[in-house]
Structure 1
Amino acid sequence: MTTCGFSIRIVLLNLLLCVIIFYSVYYVVLCFCFTAFRLQMLDGLAPFDFKTSPSWIHSYYLVLLVSLEITYLVSGLLFVLVVEEWVWDYAVTVTVIHITITAAVMSEFPLTLHWWAALGSGLILMVCVGQSLAYYLFKDNFIYPVLDNF
């Protein structure tokens, strides 16, 4: 029983670290993007804003999009340091937490297609880059199934 409780604590601690990494990276990247795009208004709701109309000429939308994608890329690399080869599991869980927090902060569930597309592409980016780095760093630890009679 203590072994199960111990591993659950480790998983929850790793999840907490991944959430902290994700939002820390997100706010740092947002600050850089707001500065790079010379925008004055950075509020705490920016990571959760799915209501901004998508437009390639709208600087605020571009900042939100670019910062989300960069956040997923960098977070995928940093998740490897915390969870080693379990990047996929933690990436999906952090994304579900982000969706939940977004719905709570914005007081409605995000139904905009552009937001889901950006979120999905970011998640794929995070997993592909993170898993590739994890494989490179921990390839001796990966468990491969035996497929003798497959």
Structure 2
Amino acid sequence: MTEINEKEDLLLLDKQLCFPLYACARKIVAAYHPFLKKIGLTYTQYVTMMVIWEKKEISVHDLGERLYLDSGTLTPVLKKLESFGYIERHRSTEDERVVIAILTEKGQALKEQARQVPEQMSCHLTDQGVTFTPDEITALKGELYKILNALK
């Protein structure tokens, strides 16, 4: 049996923080899929709509910052949401370089269908034996945002 020295030890998958974060993110998005499929959205479209539901209108730049997405990823998502009639995109009257995403009535109506998704996901996790207290959720989100904000 070969002994692993300290430098090689750092390359063990079990020593990495990035791997369980990556794998968990993939599994969470996959778990959302059946619930989002019922309302016709992908996960990226869903989180985009969450911000637009909250803000009603937002610059594409600010939306990208809020979602940690670059314009190359966000633009096709917005085009698709616009083709569904959930949003409209317009150039700002103050600065034509700025594109604004605006919630439509149809997009607002979609929010009513989407209201069930967080509870469905929570029930799914509970069924899998995963439960968190509100304090644990707050702490976990705080730690994850600490990483996200450091890596902007």
TM range (shorter): 0.3 to 0.5
Choose 1 or 2 for highest CA Rg: 2
Higher relative contact order (CA 8 A, sep 6+): 1
Higher helix share: 1
Higher strand share: 2
For normalisation by structure 1, the TM-score amounts to 0.34
